Amino acid sequence: MANPLEEWYRQLPTFTRVYTTAVVALALAVQLDWVTQFQLFHSTHYTFERGQYWRLATTFLFLGKFSLDWMLKVYFIVHYCRDLEEGSYLTRPADFAWTVMLMCVALLALSPYLRVPFLGDLLVMAMTYMWSRHYSHLVINFMGLFVTSAAYLPWVLLGFSSVVENRWPAEDVVAICVGHVFWFLGDEWPLHAESGGSRPLQAPRFLCRAFGQDHGDGDADDNTDADGVPAGNGGAATQDDSAAAGDRPQPDDDGRGAARPEDLITDGESLSSDSDDDTYSRGNSSAVRPGDRSSLHQRAAHGAPAEGQE
pLDDT tens for 130-169 read 999 999 888 888 777 778 888 998 998 888 888 887 888 8
List the chain domain ranges: 4-211
String of b and e for 11-34 (b: at least 16 CB within 10 Å)?
A: ebbebbbebbeebbebbeebeeee
Give residue 101's pLDDT. 94
Say if residues 207 and 94 touch (Cβ distance below 8 Å): yes
Mean pLDDT of the residues in the chain = 75
195: pLDDT confidence band, cut at 50, 70 and 90?
Answer: confident
With bands split at pLDDT 50, 70 and 90, how would you rate the model's confidence at 304?
very low
Q: Contact at 8 Å (CB) between 27 and 66?
A: yes
Q: How many CB atoms lie within 10 A of CB 135?
A: 18
pLDDT at 216: 65
Positive or negative torsion for Cα 254, 257, 260, 262:
negative
- Residue 55 confidence (pLDDT): 94
Answer yes or no: is pLDDT of 193 > 70: yes
pLDDT tens digits for range 72-111: 899 989 999 999 999 889 888 899 999 999 999 999 999 9
For residue 254, pLDDT over 80 is answered with: no
Instruction: Using a cut of 0.75, tell me whether the model's pTM lies above it.
Output: no
CB atoms within 10 A of CB 127: 24
Q: Which residues contact 110 (CB under 8 A, 6 or more apart)?
A: 174, 178
Percent of the chain with pLDDT over 90: 33
Handedness of CA 294, 299, 301, 307 (dihedral sign): negative
Please give the residue that has the higher pLDDT: either 259 or 195: 195
- Which CATH number does 4-211 carry? 1.20.1540.10
Confidence of residue 2 (pLDDT cuts 50, 70, 90): low
Pairwise pLDDT comparison (189 vs 24), residue with the higher score:
24
